[in-house]
Amino acid sequence: MLRAAALGLVAALVAFPLAVLPSPPVTWVAGAALALAGAGVLGRLVPLVTAGASLALIAHALALVIARPAVDAVAAAAFGATLVLLLALVHFAARVRGAEVGPSVVAAQVRRWLAVVAAGVVAAGVLAAGGAVLGPALGGATLPVVVVAAGLGALIAAAGLVALVTRRPG
């Protein structure tokens, strides 16, 4: 059941770029992503699923670059949420392989995942709204200032993320 759900998420992941632009180059990359992530799901291999998801992301970027549609924050947040759910699901399926799973475990896990995903979607919405508000204000700023500020912010965010992930809680 877990693998079927993960395969469904892989299909949804691949459908995002194809929905934007069902052209041959996007289809090829999306097909490769489907094969790789599908194999990862069937073999319960998280690295393979990560590789497939990365390809799906590349296909999505390719489709956005070629088609140049308007920014769709909802679709983007849904794409990110699908990635989160897929990784969590495959990782869980790999862990419980050959083990006895208690009656309420799967339901509890799904609830926790959905809570985290909901928080992520809300954060994405806040970010998109903030961007929409700040965009016109930054319109007059010179490009080097924007680039330096963005670069600094990205650097601090990355450093904070790494520190957060690698820190050993007391």
Partner 1 sequence: MSWRPTALNVSFLTLAGWALFLGVLTGRADLVVVAVPLVVALVVGRRAAAPPALRIDQEASADRVFEAERVTVSLRLRADAPVPLVELLQPLPPRVRLERGCNHVFLALRAGEEVRWEFTLRCEGRQRLRLGGPHVRQWGPLGLTAAETRHRAPQAVAVYPHLAPLRHPPRPVRTQTFVGNHVSPAQGEGIEPGDIRPFAPGDHVRHVNWRATLRLGTLHVTQHHRERNADVVLLLDTLSEVGPPGATVVDVAVRGAAALAAAYLARKDRVGLIEYGGQLRWVRPGSGRAQLQRLLDTLLDASVVFTYVTRDVDLIPPRILPPQALVVALSPLLDPRFVRAATDLAARGFDLVVIAVSPVGPARAAVPRGAVADVAARLWALERRVQLDEFRRRGLTVVDWDGAGPLDVALAALRRRRRHRVLA
Which residue from 112, 141, 148, 155 is in contact with partner 1, where contact means CB under 8 A?
A: 112
Q: What residues numbered 113-152 form the site for partner 1, per CB under 8 A?
A: 113, 115-117, 119-121, 123-124, 127-128, 131
Q: Are 51 and 13 in contact (CB under 8 A)?
A: no
C-alpha 75: how far from chain center = 11
Residue 111 CB, nearest distance to partner 1 (Å)?
9
Instruction: Considering only residues 32 through 71, tell me which ones interact with partner 1, judged by CB under 8 A.
Output: 46-47, 49-50, 53-54, 57-58, 60-61, 64-65, 71
Q: Which two tokens stand for residue 133?
A: 């508000």
How far apart are the C-alpha atoms of 131 and 120, rounded to whole Å? Answer: 16
Task: Please select the residue that binds partner 1; options are 5, 39, 73, 110, rule is CB under 8 A.
Answer: 73
Among 1, 99, 137, 143, binds partner 1 (CB under 8 A): 99
CA separation for the pair 164, 168 (Å, rounded): 9
Cα(148)–Cα(55) distance, rounded to whole angstroms? 30
